Amino acid sequence: MTLPFKLNLEPSRDKSVLRKQLQAERLSLLDRHQRAAHLQEVLMVWLISRPEKTIGAYWPIKGEFDALPALYRWAEGHEDRRIGLPVMNRETKQLTFHVWYPGCPMEEDAYGIPKPKDTEAFHPELLLVPCVGFGPGGVRLGYGGGFYDRTLAALDPLPATAGLAYSHGYVPWLEGEPHDVPLDALLTEEGVSWQRGVL
């Protein structure tokens, strides 16, 4: 795909600098809306292959892909399908997932991210995880809070996980740290970039 504009920065080896670079690059993608439309399609098709009935998603911030329109369509007409959004626990630094539906009453969390107001919590069977960057084999770079890793370390049973990112976020040399829980799949606007067990 030809980019109308590219920052063309050499990805920094310093993770906190790399996070800032990738976030700035994502916000500067002039074709982000077109990429989002492609990723909606990729996600909808991928979900057809999935057996899970409950999905933990996220309210998009900082130029993240918005998965909610695709999820709303996934849930439409299926009484047993549930969508949840994360609610942060400030003490445990873990996320719990609370039912969301279009028009659901929302309130802001400590980071100013909207979260469902007073809806039921549940354990999602599938987690859609926003990525600032990603590497081979399901390695994920987030905002550095460690919320998803702590949540995944505590969730039992462990949900299946799919990272969502635009393809610019691929950093070939990115390696996981010992606490990093690798993702099971990674979807971008170009398709299923990687999936565990599929060569």
Burial environment of residue 105 by CB neighbours within 10 A (0 to 12, 13 to 18, 19 or more): exposed
Phi and psi torsions of 102, nearest 5°: -55, 130
**What does the alpha-carbon distance between residue 44 and residue 67 come to, in Å, rounded to a whole number?**
9
Contacting residue, 56, 86, 142, 163, with ligand ATP by CB under 6 A:
142
Burial environment of residue 190 by CB neighbours within 10 A (0 to 12, 13 to 18, 19 or more): middle
Asked if residue 147 binds ligand FFO (CB under 6 A), the reply is yes
180 half-sphere exposure, CB direction, 13 A CA radius: 17
Q: Between residues 3 and 154, which has the closer beta carbon with respect to ligand FFO?
A: 154
Instruction: Choose from ligand FFO, ligand ATP, none: what does 141 bind? Cβ within 5-8 Å by kind.
Output: ligand ATP
Asked if residue 114 binds ligand ATP (CB under 6 A), the reply is no
Asked if residue 86 binds ligand FFO (CB under 6 A), the reply is yes
Asked if residue 37 binds ligand ATP (CB under 6 A), the reply is no
Helices (H), 49-96: 68-75
Asked if residue 184 binds ligand ATP (CB under 6 A), the reply is no
Q: Which residues pair with 160 in a beta bridge?
A: 126
In the complex, minimum distance from the CB of residue 40 to ligand ATP, in angstroms, rounded to a whole number = 22
Instruction: Choose from ligand ATP, ligand FFO, none: what does 58 bind? Cβ within 5-8 Å by kind.
Output: ligand FFO
Q: Between residues 19 and 123, which has the closer beta carbon with respect to ligand ATP?
A: 19
Q: How many residues bind ligand ATP (CB under 6 A)?
A: 14
